[in-house]
Each structure stands twice: as C-alpha cells, then as structure tokens.
Amino acid sequence: MLVRYVCKQAEPLVISDNPQTEKKTMNLWDRDVCEIFIARDPYVLARYFEFEVAATGEWLDAAIDLTSGTRETDWKFNSQMTTAAEIGKGRVTMSIRIPWNDWIHQPQKGERWRVNLFRCVGKDPNRGYLSWQPTHTAEPLFHVPQAFGSLVFK
C-alpha cells in the first residue's frame, strides 16, 4: 500500500536538525508530519494501526488498542514500512509504503477498511491540525476511530 501526501508549505517546517531514518522516531507527532490510521476490521474500530512520516523521511508505526477504554499502544509493532520525503519550494511531499503482511493484508475486491488521514503543521501557538474526516473534538485529537472514513477496494 502506498500513501502519498503533497502538501502546501507556507510556514517554516518543524523538523529535526539531525533526522534519523533507520529506526522508529518517537514523538514524531511533535513535528510537521502526515499520518494515516487504518482499522482493517470495520466492526472493531477500537483496534487500528498508525503510520507517520515527517518531511525528513523520519517515520513511526504503532498498533493501537482502545478496547479496554484506554489507549494501549504497541510501540514494538514493526510493519516494515518505508518512507520517502522531498522538500520543495512552497510544498513538501511525503510518502509511506506499507507492505502487505499479516497485519496489513492485501485487501480483496469490495473489502472496506476504516481510515483517516491527518497532517500536523507548524509550532504552538499556531500549530495546525488537518484531517480528512474531522474528529469534532474540543482539543485536537486524532485517536477517534468512530470518525474514520471508509475506504472500499475495487
């Protein structure tokens, strides 16, 4: 699966001065990033995967479980994702490649996954949070699987 974000970039990028792309970058969400959340089972939205990419190519993947009522995050989850990023004049392009495997299987025709796409941009107090499907929370919060949209494979 390949997800590509092409984003307008008017403000200075919030990125690492010393990016590390060989392993997962914790707290990546504090920088300018794009994210995709994927719930493969449309009947169990409380279990989903999170994939992030920064404009430097840094990345993070995690398995999330909300079934207990609190968020449990498996930081050791390893999707074997890869990333690519390019910073251009007035724009940034970020891509995530997620290989088909036991966690993210190749979907069948007609299969429906619940997903949401996000972007964090800028620095506080002017930090922006963008989403494909709004989560409608008072404070920015992406971990609202009930708000995920549907992705139907043809």
pLDDT tens sequence across 38-85 = 999 989 999 999 999 999 999 999 999 999 999 999 999 999 999 999
Strands 128-131 and 47-54: unpaired
The mean pLDDT value of the chain amounts to 95
CATH number of the domain where residue 110 is located:
2.60.40.1190
Tokens found for residue 59: 């990345």
DSSP code of residue 28: G
What pLDDT is recorded for position 152? 95
Instruction: Tell me the CB-side half-sphere exposure of residue 24, using CA atoms within 13 A.
Output: 16
Using one digit for the tens of pLDDT, what is the confidence trace for 125-134? Answer: 889 999 999 9
What pLDDT is recorded for position 48? 97
Q: How many domains does the chain contain in total?
A: 1
Q: CA-CA distance, 6 to 37, in Å (whole number)?
A: 18
pLDDT more than 70, % of the chain: 100
Q: CA-CA distance, 120 to 106, in Å (whole number)?
A: 28
* pTM attached to this predicted model: 0.95
Q: CA-CA distance, 99 to 102, in Å (whole number)?
A: 10
| Structural domain harbouring 59 | 2-152
Residue 37: pLDDT above 90? yes
Residue 120: pLDDT above 90? yes
What pLDDT is recorded for position 55? 96
pLDDT band at 136 (very low <50, low <70, confident <90, very high): very high
Residue 123: pLDDT above 90? no
Residue 102: pLDDT above 90? no
Q: CA-CA distance, 2 to 17, in Å (whole number)?
A: 27
